[in-house]
Amino acid sequence: MSTKKEEHPLKKVCIICAKGSIEDVYATLVMANGAVMEGIEAKVFFTFFGLDAITKKQMNKLHTSTVGNPAMRMPGGLPFPTLLGTLPGIEAGVSAMMKKQMEALDMPPVDEFLDMITAGGGEIYACKLAADMFKLEKKDLCDHVIDIITIGAFYELAGGENTQIIFT
């Protein structure tokens, strides 16, 4: 048996984003943008709370949860008490700080990030079931959304060799 490892470079990634917190949405956006920057086809499917990332009214107002997140730290590294996270304004403050730190690393706001991904040929889709559930129509969604489709239709787009589906 040959010991030479055969490499099959990725050709396509299909990313499903079901959550609407800053970190979940940005994980999706960074992966999608990173793919198109490497010449890998990227298709993104936003569903459930992930729809906030492509809903005009919400997309640039995402928050990160300050409750029940054991990895959350105070500036300086001390643990962030969950009770503190429940106080009014704390979540907004922490979210604003995260966005500021990301901006310093040249991570754009959500709308601009979607501009970048689609400029590179990435495709954005919304989940029909979730859109129906949240009573959202195409006009409520960002213009980069190609269509509101079923998961079945998304799987049809996910065919082909060396394709991966990633769920964030």
Partner 1 sequence: MATKNYAGVAIDVNDEGYLTDPAQWTKEVAAELAKEEEIELTDKHYEVLQFLREETAKGSPLTIRKVGKSGIVDIKGLYELFPGGPLKKSSRIAGIDKPSSCV
Nearer Cβ to partner 1 (18/102): 102
Check residue 142 and report its DSSP letter: -
d(CA 25, CA 114): 11
Which DSSP letter does residue 61 get?
Answer: -
Task: Give the SS3 label for residue 88.
Answer: coil
Residue 121 found at the interface with partner 1 (CB under 8 A): yes
Q: Which is nearer to partner 1, 84 or 146 (CB)?
A: 146
> What is the full DSSP assignment across 98-142?
HHHHHHHTTPPPHHHHHHHHHHTT-EEEEEHHHHHHTT--GGGB-
**Shortest distance (Å) from residue 161 CB to partner 1:** 17
Determine, following the binding rule CB under 8 A, whether residue 10 of this chain makes contact with partner 1: no
Q: In the bound complex, what is the minimum distance in angstroms from residue 43's beta carbon to partner 1?
A: 17
Q: Residue 41 corresponds to which tokens in the numbers above?
A: 């086809």
Stretch that binds partner 1, among 64-72, 81-89, 118-126, 148-156 (CB under 8 A): 118-126
CB atoms inside a 10 Å sphere around CB 38: 12
Let me know: does 53 contact 18? Beta carbons within 8 Å.
no
> Minimum distance from CB of 41 to partner 1 (Å)?
11
**Residues 6+ away with beta carbon under 8 Å from 107:** 26, 30, 113
User: What string marks each residue from 38 to 67 as x (binds partner 1 by CB under 8 A) or -?
Assistant: xx----------------------------
Q: Is 55:63 a contact under the CB 8 Å cutoff?
A: no
Least distance CB 39 / partner 1 (angstroms)? 3
Q: Which of 97, 119, 129, 133 touches partner 1 (CB under 8 A)?
A: 119
Q: Which of 8, 105, 159, 161 binds partner 1 (CB under 8 A)?
A: 105
Structure tokens belonging to residue 88: 């009014």
CB nearer to partner 1: give 34 or 93.
34
> Residue numbers of the site for partner 1 (CB under 8 A)?
30, 33-34, 36-39, 105-108, 112, 115-116, 119-121
